[in-house]
Amino acid sequence: MKEVINSKIHDENFTLNIHVSTLKKSTHALSKNYDIKKYLDPEKFSFSPEISELIPRDTPPYLDNGEKYVERIARALSFFKQCALIGPSGTGKTHIVYLIAELAGLPIWEINCGLQTSVFDLFGRYVGLGKENWIDGLITSWSRHGGILYLDEANMMKQDIATRLNPILDQRGHMVLTEKDNEIIQRHKYAFLIISMNPVSSEFAGTKPINAAMRRRMSVWLNFDYMSVGSKIDEKEVDLLIKKTNGLSRQDAEIIVRVGADLRKQYKSGDLPYGPSIGDLLNWALLISDGASLKDAAEETIISLTSDDVEVQGMVRRIICKIAGI
């Protein structure tokens, strides 16, 4: 992490502003729970104050079942500089990327590949009436300054973008700005890449197998799944709902997690368009802890969240009533 010290020297003839950026050890309250320093030591990284503002803050802990995803991703970045995360929506892929960035003191450059982001936004463009001023895009800025480039929904990436990334992800380690007289940008020594994606299937519209060239450049692939799904209930999710709410009973917490597990099962089988994350279940729990009934709170959160379709909402409503016994 960075601590910026600002000083001002004033004289009647001039004013000098001094900005000193010093590296500060990560103070994340849960850093002791994750053994990543041997792979991504925050004391090694140094960024300008402007870039340091992109380092995440106050990211919640990541729950798993001993898979040590945080450490394994940190190891992959240390050894290979890039890795891929695969799993359905709501399994915490983006969450864990932000946690690793905060623990390591690395800025994040995030791109959602499912959006119609232009090549100019990603690589840069000239601006101004005479087009005399060049503005770097996200990928160019990442390559110059370092940090984590996070490509979410990477299997929805446009082919022309994937092709331009290939040289920077292999032994060449550079990119060519064709928009700027073919300027060559070397990859920063602390420029890491993480891509995440949903499994390729008909339920994820727009997804397609990632191209072979990009696949070869991803040295490590990690698969994510829900902690509680179907008949498998993880008590850590129950405990988290109780801890994060004010007065939620264990009985209600268990009902919420069992409903979530069933909805996730239906989602994975293609019967529902959405599977709730632990954050979605927490929203439901917060309304209950504030005095709303379990059913009323569900109407405002989990039922409406799953779909706008009244038939789908009815299906979710029946699942909730069956599990809750109401």
The larger pLDDT score, comparing residue 24 to residue 295, is at 295
Least confident among 29-43, 75-89, 195-209: 195-209
Report whether pLDDT(243) > 50: yes
Amino acid present at 278: I
The larger pLDDT score, comparing residue 160 to residue 171, is at 171
Using CA atoms, how far apart are residues 301 and 52, in angstroms rounded to an integer?
35
Confidence band for 64, pLDDT divided at 50, 70 and 90:
confident
Q: Which of 192, 35, 221 is nearest to 106 (CA)?
A: 192
Question: Of 13-17, 98-102, 194-198, where does the model show the most confidence?
Answer: 98-102
Amino acid present at 209: P
Residues 6+ apart with CB under 8 A from 326: 294, 295, 320
Mean predicted lDDT score pLDDT of the chain: 86
Confidence band for 10, pLDDT divided at 50, 70 and 90:
very low
Judged on CB neighbours under 10 Å (0-12, 13-18, 19+), 244 is: middle
For the segment 237-254, the average pLDDT, to the nearest whole number, is 94
* pLDDT above 90 as % of the chain: 64
CA 232, 235, 241, 242 dihedral sign is positive
For the segment 103-126, the average pLDDT, to the nearest whole number, is 87
Q: Which of 171, 145, 150, 135 is nearest to 99 (CA)?
A: 150
CATH for the stretch 27-223: 3.40.50.300
State pTM to two decimals: 0.82
Least confident among 3-17, 81-95, 160-174, 185-199: 3-17
Confidence band for 29, pLDDT divided at 50, 70 and 90:
low
Q: Where are the domains of the chain?
A: 27-223, 235-324
